Amino acid sequence: GQSLEQPSEVTAVEGAIVQINCTYQTSGFYGLSWYQQHDGGAPTFLSYNALDGLEETGRFSSFLSRSDSYGYLLLQELQMKDSASYFCAVRDGNFNKFYFGSGTKLNVKP
């Protein structure tokens, strides 16, 4: 089966840096994605890692270590609008199936 573990909630102040971790167990693994979801909204894509290392996109970076079955999303220069839920998702061994973690609710405080 598949399992993805994320912290349920994280709180940080505006301007700070926060890291959201994701550990996974899958029967097959092809890549790790991150999605942002504001309350009442649809998930929106942030990043994807297929290979080990850090991918940077503006204020957001994502890291993957396949040997540790671990990844994280790093958000820098936090803004109030970053308050949302963040989900990691794995692409299963088969190319067209994706599993999402339970999500981490990020609260950004002034």
Partner 1 sequence: EPEVTQTPSHQVTQMGQEVILRCVPISNHLYFYWYRQILGQKVEFLVSFYNNEISEKSEIFDDQFSVERPDGSNFTLKIRSTKLEDSAMYFCASRPRTSGSYEQYFGPGTRLTVT
Q: Which residues bind partner 1 (CB under 8 A)?
A: 31, 33, 35, 37, 41-45, 47-48, 87, 89, 91-92, 94-103
Of 17 and 50, CB closest to partner 1: 50
To partner 1, the closest distance from the beta carbon of 30 in angstroms equals: 8
Taking residue 100's Cβ as centre, other Cβ atoms within 10 Å add up to 16
CA distance 4 to 50: 16
Of 78 and 85, CB closest to partner 1: 85
Of 13 and 45, CB closest to partner 1: 45
Ramachandran bin of 69, using left for φ above 0, alpha for ψ from -120 to 50, beta for the remaining angles: left
Provide the edge-to-edge strand list for the sheet that holds 53-57: 3-5, 18-25, 70-75, 60-65, 53-57
To partner 1, the closest distance from the beta carbon of 99 in angstroms equals: 6
To partner 1, the closest distance from the beta carbon of 110 in angstroms equals: 25
